[in-house]
Amino acid sequence: SLDSPASIARSRIMFAVRAVRPLARAAPAVRAFSEAPAASVMTLNFSLPHMNIYADKTVDRVIIPGAEGVYGVTAGHTPIVSQLKPGVVEIVHEAAGEAEKYFVSGGFALTHDTSVTDISAFEAVKLDDLDAEAVKTQYSAAASAFGSAAEGSAEKAAAGVQMDTAKAMGDALGVAL
Amino acid sequence: RDFPRSTMFAKALVLALALVGSNAFAPGFQSGFAGTRAVQHTSNRRITGPMMGGNEKQLKSRIASVTNTRKITEAMRLVAAAKVRRAQQAVLATRPFSETLQSVFSGLISRLGQESIDLPLLESREVKKVTLVVMSGDRGLCGGYNSFIIKKSEARIKELTEQGIEVELVTVGKKCVGYFAKRDTPVLKAFDMGQAPTADEASKISDMLLASYLAGETDCVEIMYTQFVSLIASNPSVRTMLPLSPSGIEAEGDEVFQLTTKDGQFSVESESKPPAEAADFPKDMIFEQDPLQILNAILPLYINGQMLRMLQESVASELAARMQAMQAASDNAKTLKTDLSREYNRARQAAVTQQIMEIVAGASAATE
């Protein structure tokens, strides 16, 4: 399903905001405390179709690129289920530690009221493994395909998605496209 | 004098074919067979008597080539066993993902409750055309594996065409690609199977099928694959992938196999697992998207997972079949070697006896 222009714009803004406040959490309106007894730690299950990245891993918090906007999850977060858009999943293992970043292509994330978060992505790679040059080439190829495709055709839609994904990868790497 | 040698050679060829099966000339194996070094008959024997006749030399070289064949088939069996283990690990690695999907799916279905779930992938339509995906192996030397699945596919094609339903094929695996390319049923696309299917490869196939189904180009997608039952048994079966049935997804338990050894022999232990528990969606759950939209997004992921799983199971069945075929070939080679050795020894003893008789006859003639 195609995102509405509003949600695309909102997510672009969320990206920009997040770039300025790297360790800030998501908008307070989203966060609430669950009715269930809050667990003191959160557990992460991060799986791909062909392998499991983390199973029952205790982490401090996870920042998830939801389709409607990026949000963060810690222990005691309200249960939430969201589709993912191409973006970065940041896993912070220790409270003061560095985030481990994975670029995901899409999927969904589900947080239970037991502070267990399941992230199921179709493809995930470590951010360090992305090649900035390849991203630039991909973006320009997709942009030219988008420009030359007929309005409303499948090729234009596909090229649009490729552009968005390349843009997301570029944003994640800090590369200007 | 040439006559006995050529029948010996012909017999050797026929026996070799019987050993290895009609796929002896599959690419890749022929070199192993043709390039067998014939071990030269060394002369460190106690009796270097006069002419033993061409028979013994032939037998000796045959024994050497049968020994070599046995080494090759044993090696192939062990390689197949290692690959089976890896294939089963790969299957295990896919389980967490599909379990999560299954649990979320069941949870969403129960959350949506009595609302009629109107999703294109779930509704069944009148079937006028069926896309049949056939999964075979790339290579031979796996016993009846490829021919069983091809036979079953042909039977299904016949069944469908008799009902007046149009059939088109998607072939996965060089063996069935080659077979169906020469036949009447149209082939939409051909893929290679490989020895370790990846999520990427599975998604290429399932994305194509999804697009075709959603565009209305086909009304039903069925998969012919081989279910892994045990090392000796596997079950070619057919499974409807599209349209999906919600109760099918929820109720699906799983069987997990592990290749182990028992009493020095390979064996398989299986464990059945029940379907994943439905995810609990409490009342204060935030749905970032509409539950129906999330469900719609999950279904293609589920289909991708199923496709990968079926590819992996087919590969595991092919490897198990190859293990069995190579085991049989090794056993045959062992028996043949014993028989040939016995024949060789008899021939050698007969020659020695002949010599002795000649010497004795000559000596007794001389003393008269």
Residue B322 has pLDDT above 50, yes or no: yes
Cα(B188)–Cα(B181) distance, rounded to whole angstroms?
10
Q: How many CA atoms lie within 13 A of B269 on its CB side?
A: 5
DSSP reduced 3-state for A20: helix
Residues of A in contact with B304 (CB under 8 A): 49, 122
Cα(B156)–Cα(B237) distance, rounded to whole angstroms?
10
Residue A35 has pLDDT above 50, yes or no: no
Which of B31 and B17 is assigned the larger pLDDT?
B17
The reply to whether the predicted model has a pTM over 0.80 is no
Is B301–A66 a contact, with Cβ atoms under 8 angstroms apart? no
Number of inter-chain CB pairs under 8 A, A vs B = 98
Which of A160 and B154 is assigned the larger pLDDT?
B154
Which run of H or of E encompasses A116?
A: strand A116-121
* The pLDDT of residue B7: 60
Identify the burial level of B302 via C-beta atoms within 10 angstroms of its C-beta, where 0-12 means exposed, 13-18 middle and 19 or more buried.
Answer: buried
B217 at the A interface (CB within 8 A)? Answer: no
Catalytic hit among B72, B142, B176, B295: B142
B203, B281, B284 member nearest A35 (Cβ): B284
Report the pLDDT averaged over residues B257-272: 80
A47 at the B interface (CB within 8 A)? Answer: yes
* The pLDDT of residue B165: 94
Q: pLDDT tier at B19 (50, 70, 90 boundaries)?
A: low
Tell me the per-residue pLDDT of B215-238, one tens digit each, with 9 for 90 and over. Answer: 889 999 999 999 888 888 889 999
A1 at the B interface (CB within 8 A)? Answer: yes
Is B301–A45 a contact, with Cβ atoms under 8 angstroms apart? no
Residue B76 has pLDDT above 50, yes or no: yes
B199, B288, B304 member nearest A67 (Cβ): B288
A45 at the B interface (CB within 8 A)? Answer: yes
Tell me the per-residue pLDDT of A49-90, one tens digit each, with 9 for 90 and over. Answer: 888 899 999 999 999 999 888 999 998 888 899 999 899 999
Is B93–A79 a contact, with Cβ atoms under 8 angstroms apart? no
Distance from CA of A94 to the nearest CA of B (A): 25
B93 at the A interface (CB within 8 A)? Answer: yes
Q: How many CA atoms lie within 13 A of A26 on its CB side?
A: 20
Which of B1 and A168 is assigned the larger pLDDT?
A168
Summary mean pLDDT of chain A: 78
Is A81–B281 a contact, with Cβ atoms under 8 angstroms apart? yes
Residue B209 has pLDDT above 70, yes or no: yes
Is A113–B282 a contact, with Cβ atoms under 8 angstroms apart? yes
Neighbours of B258 (CB within 10 A): 13
Tell me the per-residue pLDDT of A127-145, one tens digit each, with 9 for 90 and over. Answer: 888 888 888 888 888 888 8
* B176: annotated active-site residue: no
Cα(B229)–Cα(B236) distance, rounded to whole angstroms?
10
